[in-house]
Amino acid sequence: MCDGKKEKNITLLKKIDRDMGKKKGVKYFVVDAFTDSAFKGNPAAVCFLNDDNERDDTWLQSLAAEFNISETCFLIPITGFQARFSLRWFTPLAEVDLCGHATLASAHCLFSNGLVDSDMVEFVTRSGILTAKRVSDTSELSDGEVKGGTFLIELNFPVVTTCDVNLSDVSSSMITKALNGATIVDIKATATNNILVVLPSKESVTELQPRMDDILKCPCDGIIVTAAGSTGSSYDFYSRYFAPKFGVDEDPVCGSAHCALAHYWSIKMNKFDFLAYQASSRSGTIRIHLDKEKQRVLLRGKAVTVMEGHVLV
């Protein structure tokens, strides 16, 4: 490794470790993703690891259970690269293959704290190399300038395909029961072992009161419910996501679910750009572009840091 790259990595780690009372403490931030307001969107704990504070998988999972929010993730700088990191995601119960909001939260920490010199970072993950890019929020332009220097983060994720599902009468009745008897307009399976259920209206999504015990019995990892926006609505579609098998009864705003939702609604609406609203109690907004040729989904959103500290054990 050349001296310049090594020096940049040392500088990065010093920035991460600044003001730490204990050298081997783990620095963390809690970030609300897919929102521009604190206590909205989806919270993620972003933890920084390096050669001085390596931890085994049991410790990583235990910390995720300790935070007990939808996702805790771990960033490790990759030697020789100033803007490339290993990234792993954990729910309170398990490590997962893909997580949008914690990736956005990680990029937000790096950009907003000046920990990278680039407007793009790369994450090496269980789903391959994912990128996050800082872009201007053109919706807030005033006299040609961005108000307050705000920015969006654009994630480049793989499409999660949806397909017809051949449910038995038993499985179908289980899903209907899990959704408390809701009227089902359409139902698909996703490549990530979720069931995507289309309901008649925005109201049927927002007012749904699912039965978590019955979702646990369904033959899938989780259930995404969605409906098209009504005429005149600002949003193209609405959704919610329930994943009690991962220790998350309702994921407040799920980026990876929108990789499947983008695929489904692109086919139904014959379009590739969407403004989506996840109608959890915390709520959140995602801007989406589906690149059909490259089979990628670009997810854009904001984030807010609400907490920072050190794990001392």
Active-site annotation holder among 7, 71, 145, 250: 71
Write out the H or E segment, with its range, that includes residue 75.
strand 71-77
What is the four-CA torsion angle of 15, 146, 253, 48, rounded to 10 degrees? 0
Q: Answer yes or no: 250 catalytic.
A: no
DSSP per position, the chain:
--HHHHHHHHHHHHHHHTT-SSTTPEEEEEEEES-SSTT-SEEEEEEE--GGG---HHHHHHHHHHH-SSEEEEEEEPTT-SSEEEEEEE-SS-EES--HHHHHHHHHHHHHTT--SSSEEEEEETTEEEEEEEEE-GGGEETTEEGGG-EEEEEEEE---EEE----HHHHHHHHHHTTT---SEEEEETTSEEEEE-SSHHHHHT----HHHHTTSSSSEEEEEEEPPTT-S-SEEEEEEEGGGTEEEESS-HHHHHHHHHHHHHHHT-SEEEEEE-SSS-EEEEEEEETTTTEEEEEE-EEEEEEEEE--
Catalytic machinery residues: 71
